[in-house]
A = this chain, B = another copy of it.
Amino acid sequence: MPITHKSKQGNSNRRYTYDWPMAALTVDGIIFGFDPADSKSPLKVLLIHRGEEPFKGLWAIPGGHVDIENSETLEDAVKREVLEEAGVKFEYLEQLYTFADPHRDPRGRVVSVSYFVLVVKDNYGINEKGGDDADMAAWMSVSKVTRMNLAFDHNKIIGMAVKRLQSKVRYAPIGFNLLPPTFSLVQLQDLYEAILQRKLDKRNFRRRILSMGILSEVGKSKKGRPVNLYRFDKKAYERSLEFGFNFEV
């Protein structure tokens, strides 16, 4: 039975006893970022290089145990883990799916509630410790990651997260969470093209986005040819919602 494990520490405080075996509860955060500098595949996901077994040497989604003792919520656990393991603060968080296959972790029954996280990649302060064997964080292109062999069932998890991002970005204004507060329409379109993995018509895209009335103009860029800059106007968006408005790209 997979839940049986020898104890390693002779004197650990095993103070908590139950009538039945219990599952461990963890959270995982699939952290997406957008890096315009990589014009080939700007959509990134943050992974951790595992320094320990199981799956030592493979890349994995950041995550860890929920602190039941301190009544930690799942969302707080994700925030904590993502900050600890990846040094990242995020804008947008949403529960993705719960993975609970009995054999997904060779150490025992581990239930993972996965969360879908969007960050402005500029804000990162991740631990990119060169060739070190310890845990190390890195932004990797989604297109590359989906062809890698990841730890645990993390290929499946990332696959689901990417699908969710692709579908949700089309009917909810979540993409803005991947951009700095102020952005150009070209940047926004590049973001959508990276996520949806197809080219969009420039004029149709601009007309559609602008006609929604959820962007505010905040001036022009100073360097180079003046570019119109916008910010996402959350207030205007919420006002529109009340009149049955539907965001849709």
Q: Does A124 contact B (CB under 8 A)?
A: no
Which of the segments A102-110, A142-150, A196-204, A215-223 contacts the partner chain? A102-110
A159 to chain B, nearest CB (A): 15
Number of interface residues of A (CB under 8 A): 46
Docked-complex contact B3 and A69, CB < 8 angstroms: yes
Chain A, range 11-27, C-beta contacts under 8 Å to B:
12-25
> Is the pair B15, A16 in contact by a Cβ cutoff of 8 Å?
no
- In the bound complex, CA of A52 to CA of B2 (Å): 13
Q: Are the C-beta atoms of A113 and B98 separated by less than 8 Å?
A: yes
Give this chain's copy count.
2
Which residues of chain A from 134 to 154 have a CB within 8 Å of any chain B CB?
none
Using a CB–CB distance below 8 Å, which chain A residues touch chain B? 1-9, 12-25, 52, 65-66, 68-69, 71-74, 95, 97-98, 100-103, 105, 107-111, 113
What are 15 A-B residue pairs whose CB atoms fall within 8 Å in the complex?
A1-B71, A2-B12, A2-B71, A3-B69, A3-B108, A9-B17, A15-B19, A16-B18, A16-B20, A18-B22, A21-B69, A23-B23, A73-B102, A95-B97, A111-B111
